[in-house]
Structure 1
């Protein structure tokens, strides 16, 4: 087994993506349980439950200067994600909290209850300059925890009051709970949504993204959003060599038929701990493909598991990556995807009056 951490025990857990609690890159000490041969029965690990704790943030808007990312500002109401997508590039962030990017990332979550108040404070600052705020740039803003916390909804309510435009990326049909709010924002040209569709194969979805909506549910979500007049795109991401890349055309076609008018894709990214976690996942689910998949990944990443160069980290390089890009462009032309795109309205931004504000003498 090709594994950067061969001593890390692996095991499948129902409803979880990672197969180990691989130590983060900043961990100074690690431990592992080994059998001494005296157990009469195999030890079955306890069911993994999700724990969610509040996080008191000092600020809520993160600014971005990466030239390959199409937004300048983002908000992440949650840390960690119960969806459990094995490929998630946000997993390494858990290492900064002395937690594992593996199973901890899926089961030890954090939410930011002060996020709506912090957003309002930020939007009222005299030097704030309006540009679209991306929700879902790191973890899904509509992961299951949103059903209890409703932080994403509260953030959108603040944005609507300020006429602050927002973009959303999610793979959850929970977004439909906020359909009236999103429709009102869309009518003011303040909202655009992208639904991530990784595969149309329900069994592959279960292995890749165990606690997410199924493929048909995501297509229905695209249809519901589009029917409500909300601009909706499909994000075919990630494209994983020899796992789901053959589905690219089918995903784009199904999403277009459901009402998507924009599309994007991302080649699999394996930064930091994601690479060994992904290899562990391959070993458990597709051991016969492990070498082939990782060979194609390295061919597309300059001979490495990952290359962070801005010029190619989203799409890769080499023959496989170039062919994937060509296939995407051909299909978009055929379907009429990305033929036109209207920018969200930043000119309407206006902080609403609050108690204590002085009224204009000319009102």
Structure 2
């Protein structure tokens, strides 16, 4: 059966959780469903701690906080999809439709900051799933976390695909004045038709670009995350994207090459069958060409870098983009940890 796209959804179907022996399968005639009839469920969970230690050597961050598990944005390529299996769910549709929320996250973070032996170190919001996905508009967990960071003068980095970050401009401006924040906006494409397929419930390209401009105008350091680069889909947009985000005020950029880790592979393949059936094999073969013949790369140092001629061509294109559009940008300043007030926050707020 040919995979059929569902409006507002990245995954075409649920993928079997490889931790489970049995699989529940729903069948339907393709023409019966025009858009998703699966309602998103929000399930509150109660973690004992909120700060995650990042042990992977290929990541530029050491700590992260994820207010949500699962993501409504629906990106078929998302490397975080397999983490949903640890909760007993599928990396497919359930990753997008069963969202676990951590409403106690701000309280847990404040308790951590109040510990006498706590040493401040910048952390990433989110690092796994987006801290500004649509439900954040209602729950405001991320906003409450930022308020805690402001109260204790603690550094925080943000990465998001959603222009909802502008809602918290008032807090971000105060943090930026003390060199306590930077924001990465994910821009894998500036082709709106591709964006609608590639990341169906993220902000429109015009809104993402506007977010970069407004944040920059308010002296909040913005990094454009041009990721992932998918050969045959968005690999021809690199220089266009870098030129655009540089003109809007981005101070730096980052990028990764796509890898189809674990159960991301079948999700992405079904997505290709639905949206680009004529280009499916070519795209998959090009992905294999940057990962030594595989769709995934497990070696940490090569995981997001790849190897081979095609990968090198992508790296060289980004080098050209840096020389053309980011040459005169000063080296990105490390966020400050010197202002942290710890358990003295309440007393200092009286003055």
- TM-score w.r.t. length of structure 2: 0.94
Alpha-carbon shift at residue 28 of structure 1 (Å): 1.1
Alpha-carbon shift at residue 43 of structure 1 (Å): 4.7
CA contact (8 A) 2:69 2:100 kept: yes
Could you say which residue in structure 2 is the equivalent of 1:15? 8
For 1:233 and 1:311, locate their aligned partners in 2 and report how far apart those are by CA, in whole Å.
22
For 2:207 and 2:333, locate their aligned partners in 1 and report how far apart those are by CA, in whole Å.
27
1:322 to 312, 324, 327: 312
Alpha-carbon shift at residue 198 of structure 1 (Å): 1.2
Question: Is 1:254 aligned with 2:254?
Answer: no
- TM-score w.r.t. length of structure 1: 0.91
CA contact (8 A) 2:151 2:345 kept: no
For 1:101 and 1:33, locate their aligned partners in 2 and report how far apart those are by CA, in whole Å.
16
RMSD, matched Cα: 2.0
CA contact (8 A) 2:183 2:222 kept: yes
Residues 26-65 of structure 1: pairs in structure 2 closer than 5 A: 26-33=19-26, 43-44=32-33, 47-65=37-55
Residues 178-327 of structure 1: pairs in structure 2 closer than 5 A: 178-327=168-317
How many pairs align? 346
Deviations 1:104-144, CA, capped at 9 Å, x for gaps: 01111011011001001112223322111100200110000
1:152 to 142, 153, 161: 142
For 1:108 and 1:247, locate their aligned partners in 2 and report how far apart those are by CA, in whole Å.
33
Could you say which residue in structure 2 is the equivalent of 1:174? 164
Change (3 A) 1:101 1:179: same
For 1:173 and 1:324, locate their aligned partners in 2 and report how far apart those are by CA, in whole Å.
27
Alpha-carbon shift at residue 303 of structure 1 (Å): 1.5
Alpha-carbon shift at residue 300 of structure 1 (Å): 0.9
Deviations 1:135-159, CA, capped at 9 Å, x for gaps: 0200110000101110000001111
Alpha-carbon shift at residue 33 of structure 1 (Å): 4.4
Could you say which residue in structure 1 is the equivalent of 2:85? 95
Could you say which residue in structure 2 is the equivalent of 1:344? 335
Contiguous gaps of at least 5 residues in structure 1? 1-5, 358-363
Deviations 1:24-43, CA, capped at 9 Å, x for gaps: 111210133458xxx9x965
Question: Is 1:25 aligned with 2:15?
Answer: no
CA contact (8 A) 1:68 1:311 kept: yes
CA contact (8 A) 1:237 1:267 kept: yes
Structure having the higher Rg: 1
Deviations 1:37-95, CA, capped at 9 Å, x for gaps: xx9x9654871211111111110000112222111110000011111011111111111
Contiguous gaps of at least 5 residues in structure 2? none
For 2:201 and 2:27, locate their aligned partners in 1 and report how far apart those are by CA, in whole Å.
30
1:130 to 99, 102, 120: 120
